[in-house]
Structure 1
Amino acid sequence: MAKAKKELGEAAALEDELSCPICLCLYRDPVSLSCGHSFCKQCIQEVLGAQQRSKAPCSCPVCQLQLGPVLKKNFQLCSIVEAFLATTSKGQQGEGSVEGKKEVVLCDFCLDRSQPAEKTCLTCDASLCQAHLNKHNSKASQQDHILVEVGTGGVAEERRCLEHGKLLECYCQDEGQCICTLCSIAPCHKGHSISTLKEAHNKHLGELLDTMTRLQEHKTSLAATLENLQQCENQLQTNTKTVTSQVQKLIKEMQTEIIQKEKKILSDIQSSEKEQLAQITKVKKEIEQRRDEAAQHLQSLQKMRDQPDSFLFIKEFKLAMDRIMIQDSEQARLRASRIKVVAVQMDQDKINDSRRLMQDYLRELSSLLQGMLEVLTNQIKWNRRFAEIFRHFQHPNSR
Structure 2
Amino acid sequence: MAKAREEFGGGASLEDELSCSICLCLYRNPVSLSCGHSFCKQCIQKAFSAQQQSKDPYSCPMCKLQLGPILELRKNFQLCSIVEAFLATTSKEEKSEGSAERKKEVVPCDFCLEQSQPAVKICLMCDAFLCQAHMNKHNAKASQQDHVLVEVGTGGAAVERRCLEHGRLLECYCQDEGQYICVLCSIAGCHKGHSIVTLKEAHDKELGELSEIVTWLQQRKSALATALEELQKSEDQIKTNTKTVTSQIQKLFEEMKTEMIQKEKKILSDIQSNEKKQLADITEAKKEMEQRRDESMQHLQSLQKMREQPDIFLFLKEFKLAMDRIASQNFSVSRMDVEVVQLDQARIDHCRHLMRDFMSNLDSLLQGTHSELTNQIKRNRHISKTRRNLVFCK
**Normalization by structure 2: what TM-score?**
0.43
Q: Larger Rg: 1 or 2?
A: 2
What TM-score does the superposition give when structure 1 sets the normalisation length?
Answer: 0.42
Identify which of structures 1 and 2 has the higher relative contact order when contacts are C-alpha pairs closer than 8 Å and 6+ apart. Answer: 1
